[in-house]
Each structure stands twice: as structure tokens, then as C-alpha cells.
Structure 1
Amino acid sequence: MLEPEALSAFAALSQETRLRIVRLLVQAGPEGMAAGAVGEAIGGATTSRLSFHLTHLEHAGLVQSRRDGRFIIYTAVYPALAGLVEFLMRDCCQGHPEICAPVMTALVCDCDPSVIEKA
């Protein structure tokens, strides 16, 4: 990820509702969530307000949408989120890996890898 994309992503995440939406979609996993369920989960946001935030996150490349019948399903774009972490940590350590150890420990996922492979 290059700096302009990182700046766009961080700008999108700097707003409380959008940060909550991304965290919610990360928790939802690759199957994502319907827009209505996202709205309910973040405190009953109005349709227009939710649409504004989701559009902003889509333009930043952090979420994507797909139609499933009458519903629009939103999912986190995991490669973009990983790219943000990589952007921040790219120059980490300067030859001292112990500096990055806490970050690497925090990134350990307690997920079932078979679920990730199917996504």
C-alpha cells in the first residue's frame, strides 16, 4: 500500500461510526452482514447516514458490497486492512525484531484456518 491509499483509509477510519462499522465487519467474517443488520448493530443508524458511511468506506477500499437477493451484503476487505498494518510496520525494527514482537503477538488470530481458506 502506498501513502495516498493509506491516507485515504486512515481518513475513513478516523470517524467513530466508520471505525465501528469496519470492526463489526471484521468480526462478521467473510460472509459479511446485510446493511440493515449493520445499522442495527451500530445503534440504529438511519438508512441515509449508514449509506453515507458505507459509501465512504467503499471508496477508501476498506469494505465491499454485493447484492444477495433484496439485500446488500457488506464485507471487510481483509487485504486492504492487512495493507494498512503492513504500511505502518514496513520500516519497523531497524534490525531489532524484539521491537515488533508485541505487534506480532497482537496480530495472532485464534481462527480456524479451514474457514479462512474457504473464503
Structure 2
Amino acid sequence: MINMHAAIAVFECLSSGVRLDVYKLLVRNAPHGCVAGEIATQLRITATSLSFHLKAMTQANLLMATHEGRYIRYQANLPLMLKVINFLTLECCAGTVDNKADSASNTTAIEQDGGAKSRR
């Protein structure tokens, strides 16, 4: 199970559009990932800028880096993302997605009734 601080670190790291694009690219290329040059070319980003983002993502454990000669291959840390999804399900939905759906339908019923249920 992931803790709150680790989940926050993941969300903060992915709040950058560039980092989200990098992560999406690496997920699409799982399990092999991509070397930095491939990422830079596909996302049309400079090597310097990409290096900055890859370092931050690796420090947040979103990426795994493997040396291949002169190159570094990056892969999305999919087990971590599964833990984050599980964390959200347990913490935000009280362990069941159905609770969220029930809550949303109750809110809609109250809104359609003009709030009469809440005034009784």
C-alpha cells in the first residue's frame, strides 16, 4: 500500500504537462520503455529540458532507469501507478466505486427536487 506522502509526490510530479506526456509515452511503450533520445524526438523536447524532467520523475519513482552502454532506458513504474490507483479507490471511494455512484445519484435527486430533501 502506498502512503499519502508518496501519492502526493506522484501527483505533484505528473502535474507538469511535459512529465505527463513522458509518462504516457512510456506506458504506451511498456514494458521496454524508451531511451532519452527517443523520448526527446517523439515529444519534440530539447535534451536539456527532458533531462530535468526525467530526473524529477525518477526521483519520484515514476520511472525506472536502466543503463545500456552510453544510453539510459526509461520505463514507467507501472506497479507504483497501480498502487496509486488502489490508494485513490480506498481513500476517496471508501473502498468501493459503487459508493461514489450512489452518492452522485443522491446529489442529483436532491438537486432535481430543488433541495426539498435537505430542508425537511
TM-score by length of 2: 0.75
Per-residue deviation at 1:30?
Answer: 1.3
Per-residue deviation at 1:93?
Answer: 5.0
Give yes or no for the alignment of 1:50 onto 2:47.
Answer: no
Q: Percent identity?
A: 33
Q: Distance in 2 between matches of 1:49 and 1:97?
A: 38
Structure 1 gaps, min length 5: 102-119
Q: Distance in 2 between matches of 1:6 and 1:95?
A: 16
Number of the residue aligned with 1:61: 61
Number of the residue aligned with 1:3: 4
The question of whether the paired residues in 2 share the 8 Å contact of 1:58 and 1:64 is answered with yes
Q: Distance in 2 between matches of 1:86 and 1:13?
A: 17
Number of the residue aligned with 1:33: 34
Which structure's residues are more often helix, by fraction? 2
* Farther off after superposition, 62-71 or 5-14: 62-71
Which aligned runs of 4 or more in structure 1 are off by greater than 2 angstroms?
91-101
Per-residue deviation at 1:47?
Answer: 1.2
TM-score by length of 1: 0.76
Give the structure, 1 or 2, with the largest relative contact order (CA under 8 Å, sep 6 or more).
Answer: 1
Number of the residue aligned with 1:79: 79
Per-residue deviation at 1:48?
Answer: 1.1
- 1:52-75 deviation line (CA, Å, top 9, x unaligned): 000010011100111112211000
Q: Distance in 2 between matches of 1:33 and 1:95?
A: 35
Q: Distance in 2 between matches of 1:33 and 1:14?
A: 21
Q: What is the RMSD of the two structures over their aligned residues, measured on CA atoms?
A: 1.9
Q: Distance in 2 between matches of 1:66 and 1:73?
A: 5
Structure 2 gaps, min length 5: 102-120
Secondary structure of residue in 1 paired with 2:73: strand
Cα distance change, pair 87–70 in 1 and its aligned pair in 2 (3 A): same
Q: Which amino acid aligns with 2:72?
A: I
